[in-house]
Amino acid sequence: MAKPIIFTVDDDPDVLQAIARDLRRHYGEHYRVMRASSGAAALEALQQITMRQDPVALLLVDQRMPEMSGVEFLEQAVRLAPDAKRALLTAYSDTDAAIRAINEVQLDYYLLKPWDPPEEKLYPVVDDLLADWQAHFHPPFEGIRVVGDRWNPHSHEIKDFLARNQIPYRWLDVERSEEARTLAGCVADGASGAKLPLVLFPEGEPLRQPSTTELATRIGLQTTAAKPFYDLVIVGGGPAGLAAAVYGASEGLHTVLIEREAPGGQAGTSSRIENYLGFPVGLSGSDLARRAVTQARRFGVEILTPQSVQSLRADNDYRLLTLSDGSEISAHAVILALGVSWRRLNTPGLEQFTGAGVYYGAAQTEALACEGEDVYIIGGANSAGQAAMNFAKYAKSVTMLVRGDSLTKSMSQYLIDQIAATANITVQTHTSVIEAKGGTQLEALVLQNAVTGATETVPARSLFIFIGAIPHTGWLEDLVQRDSRGYLLTGPDLTSAGVPPHQVWSQERPPFLLETSLPGVFAVGDVRHGSIKRVASGVGEGSICVQFVHQYLGDVR
């Protein structure tokens, strides 16, 4: 942490130099002494100090200054440095102003000029003020701070990106936090105000309304490949992709993993996974992702995020991938671990409020913001159940809206039992959302019972959707065979796809178990046709797929 600051302000250069000299002589080892020759210059400097989050211990200000008196300066400075001790340098005739300032700006002390000798008239007073400040001082959070509006979709995007990439940050909501409003005011752009979200760093300039790519570059995430060629390229960083990366790199393959959002995939957003082998008390999806990323990097895996693949093509034994930034990398083998995304609901109002009260996934990012509120969840599978249990710790109530007649068709029994035992969780079966209402944010939901046809409108500020799955495989075009829903066909499923074998497979050997219709390109995890949508099965497929990659590389080489 930077040294706490003693800031002195005086328009008389000789006096300013003398007070700064005396302060540095006595306090320079433990404090940084700063000075300014006017109130305006001091306020500008304080704004920069506030942005850097450097602690200000003492403001020592001359009362008689042109354009802005010491008291007038303190009236504005208290907003920027609310915890700093405040003292005035006054002449005898300024005593009345100093006394009034005790009430007006909570002045802590006033000193009469001259203060010679400082050992008698300056240091004892400042010692006492600094000791009192130190007794109540709490070191500030030194990481990234995000200033924004809870109902701003861009603010949600930035929070979600940082959380999913395991980057610690502090969230400051301009609706609830005076500190947030102060910081926003420091970077306000004239009449238009501050451009939110605002991302502040311990060092350097803040970012205003950054894209995730800009933010990734600033925090040091790797988005560009270090080499043009790899033994193995893995597209997708969920459990299946991370497992493939760990096994591939640990067995000597030069491996790069490309993830378009954050390592962990959809599983990384899970609040709690309690049936994963080897973790009897469970673990969160983010914990699993963090451990897997650490393990992969330990074996030398390059992880590019946020980065996406725009196209894939074959050139003899090489597989070439074009990335979203226009760069190209090549490999002998590719594993597609693309995962799936939450299915979007085409319900009136939902798209309008996405990121402003309506969220797909995001249980961990928004849970704290829902403290004391009524939360609604659409979905009846494990992800929805895990989210409900997480929200129940913070929310006043959690209502699960399920289209079917029970949770038993798609949810693990341990979660069903936990939900039944949680007093503030309610499950409404046969129920759908048919409309979302509000102004700039979600304010109400219209619910309909499929059995009775009855509708009701309920007040709601937060709706979380955990239903369905859509594979993003359209960018592969006709390069690999897919089923009617877009899932990738592999191994034996290729020969039973209803297409003549010679049109599906070009090699004399049969396709490996997890190999797609393009030799050397494999598919694992949720994106694969017929896969079991569980974390453990994805990890298993990613692990065993590397053995097929080795066999393929043996033939190529």
Residue whose tokens read 């899932």:
487
Q: Is residue 347 part of a domain?
A: no
The residue type at 307: Q
Is residue 131 domain-shared with residue 155, that is, in the same domain? no
Q: Which has more confidence, 269 or 332?
A: 332
Q: What confidence tier does 449 reach under pLDDT thresholds 50, 70, 90?
A: very high
Q: Is residue 537 part of a domain?
A: yes
Q: Is residue 351 part of a domain?
A: no
Sign of torsion over alpha carbons 149, 150, 152, 154 = positive
pLDDT of residue 103: 77
Is residue 262 domain-shared with residue 317, that is, in the same domain? yes
The residue type at 122: L
Q: Is residue 352 part of a domain?
A: no
pLDDT of residue 93: 65
Q: How many domains does the chain have?
A: 4
Q: Which has more confidence, 13 or 268?
A: 13
Is residue 333 domain-shared with residue 365, that is, in the same domain? no
pLDDT of residue 61: 94
Average pLDDT for residues 113-134, to the nearest whole number? 91
Q: Is residue 350 part of a domain?
A: no
For 1-50, what is each residue's pLDDT tens digit? 689 999 999 999 999 999 999 999 999 999 999 999 999 999 999 999 98
Is residue 112 domain-shared with residue 35, that is, in the same domain? yes
Percentage of the chain exceeding pLDDT 90:
73
Rounded to the nearest 5 percent, the helix, strand and coil shares of the chain are: 35, 25, 40
pLDDT of residue 432: 96
| CA-to-CA dists, residue 176 to 150, 172, 183, 186, 347, angstroms | 10, 8, 13, 17, 31
pLDDT of residue 495: 78
CATH number for 177: 3.40.30.10
Q: How far is residue 412 CA from its own chain's centroid?
A: 29
Q: Is the pLDDT of residue 53 over 70?
A: yes
Is residue 367 domain-shared with residue 479, that is, in the same domain? no
- DSSP assignment of 327-390: -EEEEEEEEE----BPPPP--TTTTTTBTTTEEES-HHHHTGGGTTSEEEEE--SHHHHHHHHH
Print the domain residue range for 151: 144-219
Q: What confidence tier does 110 reach under pLDDT thresholds 50, 70, 90?
A: confident
Helices vs strands, H then E, count in the chain: 17, 24
For 455-476, what is each residue's pLDDT tens digit? 999 999 999 999 978 999 999 9
Percentage of the chain exceeding pLDDT 70:
97
pLDDT of residue 1: 66
For 172-230, what is each residue's pLDDT tens digit? 999 989 989 989 888 876 555 678 999 999 888 899 999 999 999 999 999 999 999 99
Q: How far apart are CA 98 and CA 88, in angstroms?
A: 7
- DSSP assignment of 84-105: SEEEEEE-GGGHHHHHHHHHHS
Q: Is the pLDDT of residue 135 over 80?
A: yes
Is residue 426 domain-shared with residue 537, that is, in the same domain? no
Q: What confidence tier does 499 reach under pLDDT thresholds 50, 70, 90?
A: low
154 contacts: CB under 8 Å, gap ≥ 6: 148, 196, 197, 209, 355
Q: Is residue 410 part of a domain?
A: yes
Is residue 294 domain-shared with residue 367, that is, in the same domain? no
Average pLDDT for residues 395-400, to the nearest whole number? 97
Please list the alpha-helical segments (H only) found in 363-463: 363-366, 382-391, 413-420
pLDDT of residue 136: 87
Q: Is residue 29 part of a domain?
A: yes
Among residues 408, 432, 465, the one where a domain terminates is 465
Is residue 116 domain-shared with residue 156, that is, in the same domain? no
DSSP state of 461: S
Beta bridge partners of 501: none
Cβ(508)–Cβ(477) under 8 Å? no
Two tokens at 359?
Answer: 């969220």
CATH number for 430: 3.50.50.60
Is residue 316 domain-shared with residue 174, that is, in the same domain? no
Cβ(389)–Cβ(416) under 8 Å? no
Q: Is the pLDDT of residue 513 over 90?
A: yes
Comparing C-alpha atoms, which of 524, 530, 531 is closest to residue 547? Answer: 524
Q: ∠ at Cα 169 (163, 174), nearest 5°?
A: 105
DSSP state of 126: H
Is residue 18 domain-shared with residue 127, that is, in the same domain? yes
Is residue 84 domain-shared with residue 192, that is, in the same domain? no
Among residues 184, 219, 254, the one where a domain terminates is 219
Q: How far apart are CA 30 and CA 88, in angstroms?
A: 22
For 403-446, what is each residue's pLDDT tens digit? 999 999 889 999 999 999 999 999 999 999 999 999 999 999 99
pLDDT of residue 501: 62
Average pLDDT for residues 274-279, to the nearest whole number? 88
Is residue 448 domain-shared with residue 496, that is, in the same domain? no
Residue 455, H or E segment: strand 455-459
Q: Average pLDDT of the chain?
A: 91
Among residues 106, 136, 166, the one where a domain terminates is 136
pLDDT of residue 162: 93
Q: Is the pLDDT of residue 497 over 70?
A: no
Q: Is residue 208 part of a domain?
A: yes
